[in-house]
Amino acid sequence: MVFDPALADIRFGTGVSPRFARPTGVEDMLRRLTGPDRMAEAYPVPRFDGEAGEDIREFHRLLQARKKVRGTEAETPARRQLSKHRKKLRAAEMQSARHILLRGIMSEDGFRERLVWFWTDHFATGPRSQLHRASMASYVEDAIRPHVAGRFADMLWAAETHPIMQVYLDQQKNYGPNSAAAQKSKRKIGLNENLGREMLELHTLGVGGGYTQADVTALAGLLTGLKVEKNTRAVFKPNAAEPGPFMILGQYWGGAPGDRERELREFVEALSVNPVTLRHLAYKLAVYFVADAPDEGLVEHVAAAMVGANGDLVAGYRAMLEHPAAWSPAPSNVKPPIDFMVSACRALDIHPAMLERMNDSNTKARFLVPMSLMGQPWFDPNGPDGLPEADYRWVSPQGLAERIQWSMTAPQALTTKLPDPRSFVETALAGRAPEPVKFAAKAAETDWEGIGLILSSPAFQRR
């Protein structure tokens, strides 16, 4: 394997930048990844166990308070307070959006940011409750980011139990039909399979992973008892839990409702190191980082490393990065919209203050709305299967039209002075620009069109 520092930034990081030193080798990349999370420190995003949680509980309190006084004189002030709080949440959401972009743009540890994006999409969620709508970034901060260089078991546990995931996949509605709660309830309550199904189909074994409908139903049963408390914390309620045991994937799991947290944890541990799970993850990593149809040897190598290391993710990353197929020089995958925009900002070397001080309306206009029109709505995927992987899904006529529009207009708005396209073509493409792109950089009638053409070219769009 020949390590290629520029390719390390382009394919495994958030793009080349004239400002930051490139990684010197695989061990250097992993050292940065396992070191302190400098970007999270520099550009904080609130967490559910901190400010985000407080904000959501306050939101809930204000909603209830308004409900109570509906139709009375006190309604107007209650409504005013609520709308003030909503504004606060919206401002925090936009601040988080800027911080997430800035982390990608300013990072010397781009592999970490990419892994966060990858795992966020693997455990894709969207807003289902107005209480959580503005706090989607906090889900990633709680459940994904702390675990990207850890054990898959811990991320799996954190993601499945997170309030946002529970609400997204209806776990709150999942009750044991024979639980104490169901016996007492006047309404008919019972199993809801949504979380159990996606846990097997999307998050672990994968759709061909050999599970059956009976496994899905049984897992839904084992999941009963897992609930959300105060809209912000995972909690286990024995009175909602179906008495076990449950036969899942050929083994019995769970027993008395009182011990459900430990029982579910044991199952998650076992599922997380199931070789079928780890091979599914290896395949997805290879597709995301390397190619739509990845080299089989690469996939098997990554899978074997993760199996050997009991689901230790860094072992998998190391295996991927040391495999020659990961470094084939020809550009392959098309960058998803956020990757494209962040890598363009890095190549343009935009000043961080440009984004730090950007107001909310410009943040939407320059980043979030175009990103949506390119096919990646901000924290709102089409479904729990997340973003598409195949290149052609991004390079549709209208998706590409949006990329072209953005390339031609955003750089002008994000820099005080545009670089000369003739030098920019070298920086942005790390000295490996194809001749037609170099020619276009020279031949464009204006500097902004020159920059736009470079950023729109397949040479920049692929990695």
Partner 1 sequence: MKRRDFLIRSTLLGCSAAASPFMTPVALASAPWDARLVVIILRGAMDGLDMVRPYGDPDYAGLRGGLTGGGVGEADLDGFYALHPSMEPLRPLWQQGALGFAHAVSTPYRDQRSHFDGQDLLEAGTVGLDTGRSRDGWLNRLLQSVPGVSGETSFALGRDQMLLMRGDAPVSTWAPESDLNLSPQARLLLEMVSHDDPLFSGAVTDAVQIAESLGLIDVPETALDAQDMVTQRMKDNRKQAANGHMLLADFAAARLKEEARIAAFSLNGWDTHKGQKNAINRAGTQLAEVIGGLHDNLGPEIWGKTVVLAMTEFGRTARLNGSAGTDHGTGSAMVMAGGALRGGQVWADWPGLGEADLYAKRDLMPTRDVRAHAAWTLRSLFGIEQSVLETKVFPGLDMGGDPRLVL
By beta-carbon proximity to partner 1, the closer residue of 32 and 366 is 366
Alpha carbon distances (Å) from 137 to 58, 106, 122, 230, 375: 18, 18, 15, 19, 19
Please state the closest distance from residue 425 (CB atom) to partner 1, in A.
Answer: 10
From 4, 34, 36, select the one nearest 321 (Cα to Cα).
4
By beta-carbon proximity to partner 1, the closer residue of 364 and 422 is 364
Please state the closest distance from residue 225 (CB atom) to partner 1, in A.
Answer: 13
Contact criterion met (CB below 8 Å) for 227 and 236: yes
Contact criterion met (CB below 8 Å) for 387 and 340: no
Please state the closest distance from residue 111 (CB atom) to partner 1, in A.
Answer: 26
Strand partners, 312: 151
By beta-carbon proximity to partner 1, the closer residue of 26 and 191 is 191
Please state the closest distance from residue 149 (CB atom) to partner 1, in A.
Answer: 27
Please state the closest distance from residue 364 (CB atom) to partner 1, in A.
Answer: 6
By beta-carbon proximity to partner 1, the closer residue of 89 and 149 is 89
Please state the closest distance from residue 334 (CB atom) to partner 1, in A.
Answer: 8
By beta-carbon proximity to partner 1, the closer residue of 26 and 428 is 428
By beta-carbon proximity to partner 1, the closer residue of 149 and 218 is 218
User: How many helices (H) does the chain have, and how many strands (E)?
Assistant: 26, 4
By beta-carbon proximity to partner 1, the closer residue of 34 and 363 is 363
Please state the closest distance from residue 315 (CB atom) to partner 1, in A.
Answer: 27
Annotate 202-234 with DSSP letters as a single string: IISS-TTSS--HHHHHHHHHHHTTEEEETTTEE
By beta-carbon proximity to partner 1, the closer residue of 153 and 181 is 181
Please state the closest distance from residue 383 (CB atom) to partner 1, in A.
Answer: 7
Please state the closest distance from residue 113 (CB atom) to partner 1, in A.
Answer: 19
How far apart are alpha carbons 231 and 135 in whole angstroms? Answer: 12
Please state the closest distance from residue 409 (CB atom) to partner 1, in A.
Answer: 5
312 HSE (CA, 13 A, CB side): 9
How far apart are alpha carbons 65 and 78 in whole angstroms? Answer: 7
From 390, 395, 454, 396, select the one nearest 421 (Cα to Cα).
454
By beta-carbon proximity to partner 1, the closer residue of 71 and 187 is 187
H-helix segments, 123-259 = 136-139, 152-161, 163-168, 180-184, 194-198, 213-223
For 312, the 3-state DSSP assignment is: strand
Q: CB under 8 Å to 15, separation ≥6 — which residues? A: 9, 110, 339, 342, 343, 344, 346, 347
Contact criterion met (CB below 8 Å) for 54 and 47: no
Phi, psi of 126 (to 5 degrees): -135, 170
By beta-carbon proximity to partner 1, the closer residue of 96 and 151 is 96
> Checking DSSP bridges between strand 226-229 and strand 233-236, what pairing results, if any?
antiparallel
Tokens, residue 228: 């959300």
By beta-carbon proximity to partner 1, the closer residue of 150 and 209 is 209
Tokens, residue 165: 């995931």
Phi, psi of 227 (to 5 degrees): -145, 175
By beta-carbon proximity to partner 1, the closer residue of 108 and 385 is 385
Please state the closest distance from residue 1 (CB atom) to partner 1, in A.
Answer: 26
How far apart are alpha carbons 300 and 293 in whole angstroms? Answer: 13
Please state the closest distance from residue 257 (CB atom) to partner 1, in A.
Answer: 16
From 158, 133, 137, select the one nearest 146 (Cα to Cα).
158
Tokens, residue 84: 């003030």
